[in-house]
């Protein structure tokens, strides 16, 4: 920049930095259609990758797969509906709304636990479930503009992250030791096949306490069709092998290369000693059209039962190692016959095995295809061709090589009654190099011979009742062999059969056992579940630090009781007063806040209320507290009371409350609306001398712990807290709601508006919007008054935020708005998340996880120089990827699943150990200044994660330091040496971890490793005269 001579020179900006900054358009723009078409191609992102370029590319191709950001946003859309239809539509009855709640609250462990509790193959199902016809088909959001929730993607996300945690499954901790179990639990039970049905059945039997359960598999590897036939790009081998590992962790034996019906594994031998057999195998043999009976792979003909296992050997390490890696190589044009899910698995696999064109041929119309949308959409995107109305007639072979050269098809027609028939006058000859037949499968021998006379067959499948029992006692069946063709249906058959086996074994061998009237199976357990989250606080043992605030969730006694049943550790009653201080509420009075923008439904960022204290009498509450303590002796009940600045009133109400048996009292000195006008609540809590008086009066007559509830509507909360402690309070509660005004409508009337005059008043703002204030005030009290017992309230919406309050100095935390957003059951998520956090503190490999996500590799954080993902750059990426995959296709697949090392961990901290951990790092600004100009940070961009939106550049230019260049061709940002480390770019970046803050040093800023502020005019220099106006870069 030239020397500064006038004040006008201070306005000169770097044109290059601002070249692409948004500008206000002052006229309509004109360009030719040809120019517009060229620009469209230049920036196009939705370029499909044709299947012919997919050779060797077995990477995940599912459209449902979610990133961290995508999962959190999708989970936050869920309405958590009452009597949720999605759950009713899930064959395994997974508590879908609850696991989605856990994902939204950064509790992937809790989400996975809910999923695996009902479905032991929940990871596989998250990857391959045809949810459009199951849970997603029942999603109530399908009736909205936003569309249904991506449930399978969320399920995959949660369980995949849990898999990375390496937390073993354990036996139900509520059971006696194995040696103390009734002998009936040592009964030999064999599950035939190692697919989803048998894995599920064996898992639930092991959870029930059966310790002699074995799975037998005829193939040399476990996993069933999930391993051998579902392609790697849809269901990764490591996912299947992880589920197999989870079954083994429960003590189930798995024997491979073992044929059912031979040796010790005949039905008669297994049933002889009161044993049980569950047949959970698939349909192992192909259904072959008469036109292909004389053909084999050497002719270019495959059935799906030939082709898919060989494709698996080309891509799945577990299959390749077990089978010697017999691979399949295709080329040219491939016909896939059939229109079911298996046919489309063959279609995608054919491309990845080298096919250049794939035609999917089927008898009926495209509208009648049995395959689900998840399969057909992928095939269309990969440029597969569909040929309906075709039935094979004959195959034409090369007379010399005997290889397929063409297939002759009959044309199918439909009569007026809707029946399809073959029109032999119409034929079509299609040239091709390979044919893959996917016309279904059958049980076949030796399985049918072994089961002959012991089960009934219908349409080639085993007949079972609704409990998965066959006609032979002790013999059960489920999965593909009974017609349950979906992975999730097979898992549910195994689950149902496990209960039937349990009921039959106990009835026969343990007549004294009492079975519950409703079928109930144990959930998924790990070491995390044994973690103690109780809190010792002011001489009171709290079951956990989660409590109902003195707010709408504690409006009535039955509500508090339901909260205790759900798992809340304590409750503060709705504030009550003496009968002379009667209250009557107005309506409307509790409204959604204005801090969430156009977001409707749960996850509101704030609420505003003008609700008063309880309308119920003191006698109601005192009687009810007494009943609560009798019914829930281990739970903590805190009575919230309020009076005006009157000694007699406070002492009278305190004495009455002591008779209730409450564990503690909370003095409401902070209600921000209504009550202050009566000389109560806020009117008392804003003046230190009044707070000191009231606490002193209560102290004179109250032997129980009591807490003064602080108002945030004051200059210095520490002054009020100190007054409360001086008066004799045991501790404080911080904070009550913040006085505010949320809505003024365009007709100039506020909301909520009451009565014909449409009047309102300042109400109490609650929820996430007030959490920063609550954390500040809690930590301030804890830092300035060390050792002060603190109950926190104000914006706790997850275990993650509760832990923040604990770190800030609180011991227990109250909640209301989060329950208003959902219901009492959210505490289940909070409990599992807090247990996980404490458990993770004992594991060196988990302690650095943030929000239950693994830390990013620092080498990945600084990835630069990669191509963006649009236009010619995306094409180049796809071509480079195709070249790498083709090269890799010649190598055996690399193992992605390895049995994890035994878990090693130290001692698990208690909740009390967390209290105040963050306080040493929270101090005055002068402490931060002592670090400048050293210990500074600058921004770094990961080009590979960048989506090229330019938000970082825009915020830096218009609210920051003009330190980001934006490439006009690649739209990739470049952080320049002008970066001061303000972190605005990180704050507005839509992609987590795309921009990170790194240390400013010789490596990151070689030209200016030490931060030197730009003063504009150096200190001590004179002011400048006004010059000519500078033309700005806008």
Query: Considering only 597-611, 704-718, 932-946, which range has the smallest mean pLDDT?
Result: 932-946
Distances (CA, A) of 736 to 98, 478, 992, 1000: 29, 56, 33, 41
Q: What is the pLDDT of residue 551?
A: 96
C-alpha count within 13 angstroms, C-beta hemisphere, residue 844: 4
User: What does the pLDDT read at residue 491?
Assistant: 97
* Residue-level pLDDT at 464: 97
Is residue 732 predicted with pLDDT exceeding 80? yes
Per-residue pLDDT at 62 exceeds 80: yes
Mean pLDDT value across residues 598-626: 94
3-state secondary structure 341-394: HHHHHHHHHHHHCCCCEEEEECCCCHHHCCCCHHHHHHHHHCCCEEECCEEEEE
Provide mean pLDDT across the span 937-949. Answer: 92
**pLDDT of 1034 over the 60 cut:** no
Which span out of 7-11, 420-424, 655-659 was modeled with the highest average pLDDT? 655-659
Ranges assigned E (strand) in 66-107: none
Backbone phi, then psi, for 455, in 5-degree steps? -135, 165
- pLDDT attached to residue 112: 98
pLDDT digits (tens, 9 = 90+) for 294-314: 999 999 999 999 999 999 988
pLDDT reported for residue 36: 93
DSSP string, 886-929: HHHTTSPPPP---PPPPP---PPPPHHHHTTTTGGG---HHHHH
Could you read off the pLDDT of 813-866 as tens digits, one per residue?
A: 999 999 999 999 999 999 999 999 999 999 999 999 999 999 887 665 566 778
DSSP per residue, 748-772: S-EES-BTTTTB---EEEESGGGHH
pLDDT, residue 1, reads 45
pLDDT tens per residue, range 976-1024: 999 999 999 999 999 998 999 998 888 888 888 888 888 888 999 999 8
Quick one: pLDDT at residue 901? Answer: 66
**Maximum average pLDDT range among 40-54, 281-295, 605-619:** 605-619
Nearest to 790 by CA among 777, 803, 773: 777
Return the number of other C-beta atoms located less than 10 Å from residue 351's C-beta. Answer: 26
Mean pLDDT of the chain: 92
Q: What percent of the chain has pLDDT over 90?
A: 77
Counting beta carbons within 10 angstroms of the beta carbon of residue 978, is it exposed (0 to 12), middle (13 to 18) or buried (19 or more)? middle
Instruction: Report how far residue 342's alpha carbon sits from residue 336's, in angstroms, rounded to the nearest whole number.
Output: 10
- Mapped onto helix, strand or coil, the DSSP state of residue 331 is coil
Indicate yes or no: pTM above 0.85.
yes
d(CA 445, CA 460): 12
| 321: pLDDT strictly greater than 80 | no
Assign 3-class secondary structure to 581-593.
CCCCCCCCCEEEC
For residue 548, the model assigns a pLDDT of 98
pLDDT at residue 78 greater than cutoff 90: yes
Taking only Cα atoms into account, the Rg of the chain, rounded to an integer number of angstroms, comes to 34
pLDDT in tens, 140-199: 999 999 899 999 999 999 999 999 999 999 999 999 999 999 999 999 999 999 999 999
Residues assigned a catalytic role: 671
pLDDT band at 927 (very low <50, low <70, confident <90, very high): confident
Q: Give the integer Cα–Cα distance in Å for 709 and 721.
A: 9
How far is Cα 163 from Cα 898, in angstroms, rounded to an integer? 12
Q: Over range 424-439, report the average pLDDT.
A: 95
898 has a pLDDT exceeding 70: no
């Amino acid at each position: 920049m030239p020397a500064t001579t006038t004040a006008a020179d201070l306005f000169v900006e770097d044109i290059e930095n601002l070249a692409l900054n948004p500008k206000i358009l002052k006229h309509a723009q004109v360009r030719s259609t040809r120019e517009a078409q060229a620009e469209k191609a230049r920036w196009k992102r939705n370029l499909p990758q044709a299947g012919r370029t997919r050779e060797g590319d077995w990477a995940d191709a599912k459209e449902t797969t979610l990133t961290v950001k995508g999962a959190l946003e999708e989970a936050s859309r869920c309405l958590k509906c009452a009597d949720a239809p999605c759950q009713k539509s899930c064959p395994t009855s997974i508590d879908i709304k609850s696991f989605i709640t856990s994902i939204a609250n950064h509790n992937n462990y809790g989400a996975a636990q809910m999923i695996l509790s009902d479905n032991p193959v929940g990871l596989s199902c998250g990857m391959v479930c045809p949810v459009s016809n199951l849970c997603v088909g029942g999603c109530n959001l399908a009736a909205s503009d936003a569309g249904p929730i991506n449930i399978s993607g969320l399920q995959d996300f949660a369980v995949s992250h849990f898999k990375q945690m390496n937390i073993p499954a354990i036996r139900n901790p509520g059971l006696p030791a194995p040696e103390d179990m009734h002998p009936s639990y040592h009964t030999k039970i064999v599950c035939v096949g190692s697919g989803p049905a048998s894995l599920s059945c064996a898992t639930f039997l092991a959870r029930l306490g059966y310790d002699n359960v074995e799975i037998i598999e005829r193939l040399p590897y476990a996993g069933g069709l999930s391993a051998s036939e579902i392609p790697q790009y849809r269901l990764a081998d490591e996912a299947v092998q992880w589920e197999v590992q989870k079954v083994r962790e429960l003590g189930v034996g798995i024997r491979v290369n073992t044929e059912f019906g031979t040796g010790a594994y005949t039905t008669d031998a297994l049933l002889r000693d009161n044993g049980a057999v569950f047949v959970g195998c698939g349909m192992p043999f192909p259904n072959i059209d008469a036109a292909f009976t004389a053909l084999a792979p050497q002719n270019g003909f495959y059935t799906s039962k030939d082709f898919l296992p060989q494709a698996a050997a080309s891509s799945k390490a577990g299959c390749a190692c077990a089978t010697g890696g017999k691979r399949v190589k295709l080329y040219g044009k491939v016909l896939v016959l059939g229109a079911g899910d298996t046919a489309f698995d063959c279609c995608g696999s054919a491309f990845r095995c080298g096919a250049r064109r794939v035609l999917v041929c089927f008898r009926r119309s495209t509208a009648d295809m049995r395959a689900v949308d998840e399969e057909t959409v992928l095939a269309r995107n990969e440029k597969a061709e569909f040929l309906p109305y075709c039935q094979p007639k004959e195959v034409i072979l090369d007379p010399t090589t005997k290889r397929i050269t063409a297939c002759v098809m009959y044309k199918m027609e439909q009569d007026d009654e809707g029946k399809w028939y073959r029109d032999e006058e119409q034929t079509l000859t299609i040239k091709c190099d390979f044919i893959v037949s996917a016309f279904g499968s059958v049980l076949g021998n030796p399985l049918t011979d072994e089961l002959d006379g012991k089960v009934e067959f219908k349409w080639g499948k085993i007949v079972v009742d609704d409990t998965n029992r066959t006609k032979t006692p002790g013999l059960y069946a489920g999965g593909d062999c009974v017609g349950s063709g979906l992975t999730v249906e097979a898992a549910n058959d195994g689950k149902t059969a496990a209960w039937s086996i349990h009921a039959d074994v106990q009835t026969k061998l343990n007549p004294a056992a009492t079975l519950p009237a409703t079928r109930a199976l144990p959930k998924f357990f790990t070491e995390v579940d044994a973690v103690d989250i109780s809190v010792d606080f002011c001489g009171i043992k709290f079951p956990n630090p989660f409590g109902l605030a003195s707010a709408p969730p504690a409006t009535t006694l039955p509500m508090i009781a339901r909260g205790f049943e759900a798992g809340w550790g304590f409750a503060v009653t709705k504030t009550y007063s003496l009968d002379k201080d009667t209250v009557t509420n107005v309506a409307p009075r509790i409204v959604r806040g204005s801090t969430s923008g156009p977001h409707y439904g749960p996850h509101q960022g704030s609420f505003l209320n003008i609700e008063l204290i309880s309308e119920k009498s003191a006698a109601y509450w005192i009687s009810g507290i007494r009943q609560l303590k009798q019914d829930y002796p281990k739970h903590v009940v805190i009575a919230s009371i309020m009076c005006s600045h009157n000694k007699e009133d406070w002492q009278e109400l305190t004495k009455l409350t002591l008779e209730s048996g409450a564990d503690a009292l909370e003095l409401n000195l902070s209600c921000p609306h209504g009550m202050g006008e009566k000389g109560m609540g806020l009117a008392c809590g804003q003046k230190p001398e009044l707070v000191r008086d009231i606490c002193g009066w209560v102290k004179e007559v109250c032997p129980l712990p009591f807490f003064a509830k602080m108002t945030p509507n004051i200059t210095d909360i520490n002054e009020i807290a100190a007054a409360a402690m001086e008066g004799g309070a045991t501790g404080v509660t911080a904070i009550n709601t913040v006085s505010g005004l949320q809505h003024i409508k365009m007709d100039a009337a506020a909301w909520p508006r009451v009565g014909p005059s449409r009047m309102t008043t300042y109400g109490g703002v609650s929820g996430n919007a007030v959490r920063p204030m609550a954390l500040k005030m809690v930590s301030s009290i804890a830092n300035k008054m060390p050792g002060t017992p603190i109950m926190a309230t104000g914006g706790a919406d997850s275990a993650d935020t509760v832990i923040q309050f604990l770190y800030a100095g609180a011991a227990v935390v109250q909640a209301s708005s989060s329950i208003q957003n959902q219901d009492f059951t959210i505490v289940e998520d909070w409990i599992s998340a807090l247990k996980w956090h404490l458990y993770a503190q004992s594991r060196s490999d988990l302690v650095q996880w943030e929000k239950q996500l693994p830390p990013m590799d620092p080498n990945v954080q600084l990835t630069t120089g990669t191509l963006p993902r649009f236009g010619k750059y995306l094409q180049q990426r796809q071509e480079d990827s195709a070249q790498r995959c083709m090269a890799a296709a010649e190598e055996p697949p690399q193992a992605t699943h390895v049995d994890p090392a035994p878990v090693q961990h130290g001692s698990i901290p208690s909740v009390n150990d967390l209290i105040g951990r963050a306080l040493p790092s929270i101090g005055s600004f002068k402490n931060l200044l002592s670090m400048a100009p050293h210990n500074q940070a600058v921004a770094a961009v990961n080009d590979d994660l960048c989506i090229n939106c330019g938000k970082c550049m825009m915020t830096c230019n218009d609210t920051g330091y003009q330190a980001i260049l934006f490439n006009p061709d690649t739209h990739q940002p470049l952080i320049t040496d002008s970066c001061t480390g303000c972190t605005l770019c990180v704050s507005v970046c839509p992609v987590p971890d795309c921009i990170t803050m790194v240390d400013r040093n010789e490596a990151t800023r070689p030209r200016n490793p030490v931060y030197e502020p730009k003063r504009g005019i150096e200190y001590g220099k004179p002011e400048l005269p006004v010059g000519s106006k500078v033309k700005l870069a806008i």
